[in-house]
Structure 1
């Protein structure tokens, strides 16, 4: 039994999801003639109370499209220093849009309205780039699945409105935040100019993300997606997986959160653990006491058929997901309890 807790992107479609995909009605989505893609886009737009949505092959492409929509070359994005758009999208903001970043030192990947306000460049000071976009990540990836309070996001929105800034949400794992904080998608739709959500992480679909916004913005996004090479033909098979995931796999995210919290509670009791970050959703980040090296822990778990991520500097990451079953969870708990380091 191999147990992969490296990421929630490692899941594979269930037989039920595959059957749903096989039965999908499809067309050529480049011509906007795929009925299943059209259904998914309309469903997600309605869910967030926004006008339109566009299906993308990846979350990175959806985020990069949003950046290009909201900025011009030479502009600046304000975001947390751990943001996915900065760290893990291959320098795409610079390559695709010619923009730079104002990186804020937030808390576990989350920034405040005051930080955003203080990070805005004076538009009259032409030596500095123009601040144009605030990008939020919820839940935070490197921040260990942390979730924003909606009140802080509302305060940041006010700062954006007062300073003529666009407001983007990288909501790759927003589904987890919605469940953990008992929030509604429309609360986010009311705040953000653009929102990206992913179907291939916690929801278990094989491929796909969505960008949600107003009709005019999505019309512009269609052209940018084409430029980026993101137009797909009979992509209804992939959209069907996303529809199935939304119908069946959102509420069960509570199970992933419970298991992550249980592992976190256990780790806090182990003598070789230095620190366990607060666990809100399905991502767990922890560190080990010196002189123990995280590579030793990762390797020892690998020998027990348990795979986790090394983040360097003594830190490791565990991500629970729908393919991580209760029998696996029991085995992981028992294995961790028995692990000793001389």
Structure 2
């Protein structure tokens, strides 16, 4: 007999979080203006705060991370040019081909374990000499942490080696930093240190930071001024957006250090489920807050396991025939992890 639950433990993504009472209060009391005209003081404060955090000259508040990636490409590439990134990068696999549909560029994926490619991988990918009949690579994009790589964290040494090649070849650098602050907390590398080798970088507010919506793209003053043009063109101007920006300011004060709790819970979840017959963590012990589970050893399809877990009040992501994904966040407690492990065990027994 199933036990009734008051709520669902949602492990599908860290985008499912709800604003805390303190964040709601900050949003309700935010000072507002017109962000299109540059007169919303709360939006301006958020942009200044993120630019300082990432060590860049300027920043722009945008509705989504997809728009951040797209605009970063638009301000640094021309139609017909090429962007290099991991073959499992969100930019390539999960953004409806926005780079090609909107920016007119091609995106080449580099095969690499955990989504982390090396300088040698770049050298093997780009042409030694400029060819008229080959797309010109003008941007290298790195996703940190790499979602499909199990929340993998980029080593700074790798990044600087790639940066040197980029400088030598006249190629710009972009970081998809949706979970950059997770990488920073896990590695001890400051966000500004991670951002230093990149021409553009952004952070997501609606993932680990727990905001309802939004992302912030940072770079040089010239690039961000051009980004504003594309923000208007793409319909991203939001008027009294201080209501949303206030959530971001609150999160930057209250929700960065606590990301380690999510990482700890992810490790506990992976360890607990890894003790069950037929279940293993695809990427070993999680570095951050993402756990991919290989359930092929159970001979039960992932979709079936997902349905049974949901009936027990546990929501988990189904990625493929025998792969599940769980992401920990501020609305999942350590006690929830214990409950999820027990629920998973019961489902497999049934």
Which position in structure 1 is the counterpart of 2:3? none
The whole-number CA distance in structure 2 between the counterparts of 1:167 and 1:203 is 25
Offset at 1:200?
Answer: 0.4
CA deviations on 1:187-241 (whole Å, 9 max, x unpaired) are 1232100001100000000011000001011111100111111011000110000
Is 1:144 aligned with 2:150? yes
The whole-number CA distance in structure 1 between the counterparts of 2:265 and 2:16 is 17
The whole-number CA distance in structure 2 between the counterparts of 1:326 and 1:261 is 11
Specify the SS of the correspondent of 2:277: coil
Which position in structure 2 is the counterpart of 1:280? 287
Is 1:117 aligned with 2:127? no
The whole-number CA distance in structure 2 between the counterparts of 1:35 and 1:207 is 18
Specify the SS of the correspondent of 1:340: helix
- Residues 267 and 276 in structure 1, CA contact (< 8 A), matched pair in contact too: no
CA deviations on 1:101-140 (whole Å, 9 max, x unpaired) are 1211011111111111221134521111111100000001
Q: Which runs of 5+ in 1 are unaligned?
A: none
1:130 to 125, 130, 136: 136
The whole-number CA distance in structure 1 between the counterparts of 2:320 and 2:50 is 37
- Residues 85 and 141 in structure 2, CA contact (< 8 A), matched pair in contact too: yes
2:315 to 283, 297, 307: 307
Which position in structure 2 is the counterpart of 1:334? 342
The TM-score normalised by the length of structure 1 is 0.97
The TM-score normalised by the length of structure 2 is 0.95
Offset at 1:275?
Answer: 4.6
- Matched ranges for 1:247-326 at <5 A: 247-278=253-284, 279-290=286-297, 291-326=299-334
- Residues 294 and 315 in structure 1, CA contact (< 8 A), matched pair in contact too: yes
Specify the SS of the correspondent of 1:108: helix
- Residues 145 and 282 in structure 1, CA contact (< 8 A), matched pair in contact too: yes
Specify the SS of the correspondent of 1:219: helix
Offset at 1:6?
Answer: 0.4
Specify the SS of the correspondent of 2:75: helix
Paired residues, what number?
A: 342
Q: 1:75 to 1:122 in 2, by over 3 A?
A: farther
- Matched ranges for 1:75-94 at <5 A: 75-94=81-100
The whole-number CA distance in structure 2 between the counterparts of 1:341 and 1:297 is 11
2:28 to 17, 22, 28: 22
Specify the SS of the correspondent of 2:224: helix
- Residues 68 and 217 in structure 2, CA contact (< 8 A), matched pair in contact too: yes
The whole-number CA distance in structure 2 between the counterparts of 1:165 and 1:108 is 23
- Residues 319 and 325 in structure 2, CA contact (< 8 A), matched pair in contact too: yes
In the TM superposition, structure 1's runs of 4+ consecutive aligned residues that sit over 4 Å from their partners are none
Which position in structure 2 is the counterpart of 1:160? 166
